[in-house]
Structure 1
């Protein structure tokens, strides 16, 4: 049995001879001798002309004084600002998006809006403040409360933004 296994191993190893390898090597030498590489020549480099920067005459672009002067020039008179010294009203403690307009009232020729915050309903009139962005009611109609808010933009400047609380339809069912 051992002899048979040994004979099989010898036969297998003899099959891995060098006959085809010689043909491949000869073909590779032939192709290598016939192939001529073509390389394009490099372009001439561009001539560099140095530039002399005269920074002694120019103002410093990072000077804090220059920045302050530009900011003062951009905002003459200080611009729009909210009245932070004013006593806050109760509805200024709630975000505007938590308020719902649920109706209107008319008393003595003045229009009042009914606003619901959580489960409580409040009467408001034009000129009152509400919301957390210094919002002031500019007008009240049958179906909306118009609010002018004073907010800061990305540059830190105070700008006016108009918002509207529209009348909400009652979706609660009576049971």
Structure 2
């Protein structure tokens, strides 16, 4: 027990000796007096900054750069005809409430030798599309489906009071 007391007493005595106040700060006072005696320097003026010009975003009406691009192939051969007109009495299909640019072919399924296209609408829903189905706001009718492409014929106003067919296609988005 005496041994433990002596072992504990030695560090306590060392700490007390180290913490005794000695007021010998003469070297520190000499240094601060020397630094204060030096002449002050010139402070550089604050640099002038250019006035901030706010950026105005002018492409708000365009397609978002974060959306998957849709390749729409406008084919030549748009022709106006007196016999071409949309069937206004037909019941509209769900994909006819979306523009062609909002639709994307995201897949294809083959059943009994026939292709079924998987088309995603602007809301993220996927629909099965067969040959003969309608899609798009311009009375678009699916005329053929291949493994990588969906061919559509739209009926659009010709500008002269009639209607004309406009071929379009949606390609498979990978």
Question: What TM-score, normalized by structure 1, do the two folds share?
Answer: 0.51
The answer on 1:142 being equivalent to 2:147 is yes
Paired residues in the alignment total 94
Q: Distance in 2 between matches of 1:141 and 1:110?
A: 9
**Structure richer in helix, relative to its length:** 1
Q: CA RMSD in A?
A: 1.7
Q: CA deviation at 1:157?
A: 1.2
Give the structure 1 partner of residue 119 of structure 2: 115
Q: Which runs of 5+ in 1 are unaligned?
A: 1-74, 170-175
1:16-55 → structure 2 map (5 Å cutoff)? none
CA deviation string 1:53-83 (max 9, x = no partner): xxxxxxxxxxxxxxxxxxxxxx99x532111
Note if 1:129 corresponds to 2:120.
no
Distance 1:135 1:80 in 2: 13
Query: In the aligned structure 2, how far is the partner of 1:109 from the partner of 1:142?
Result: 11
Per the TM alignment, residue 108 of structure 1 is displaced from its structure 2 partner at its CA by 2.1
2:110 to 106, 109, 128: 106
Partner Cα separation in structure 2 for residue 154 and residue 116 of structure 1: 31
1:154 positional shift: 1.6
3-state secondary structure, aligned to 1:160: strand
Per-residue CA shift, 1:140-167, capped at 9, x if unaligned? 0111100000000221210000000011
In structure 1, distance between residues paired with 2:89 and 2:126: 27
Structure ID, larger Rg = 1
Runs of 4+ in 1 over 6 A off after TM superposition: none
| Residue 165 (structure 1) aligned with residue 170 (structure 2) | yes
Provide the TM-score with structure 2 as the length reference.
0.51
> Structure 2 regions of 5+ residues with no counterpart?
1-79
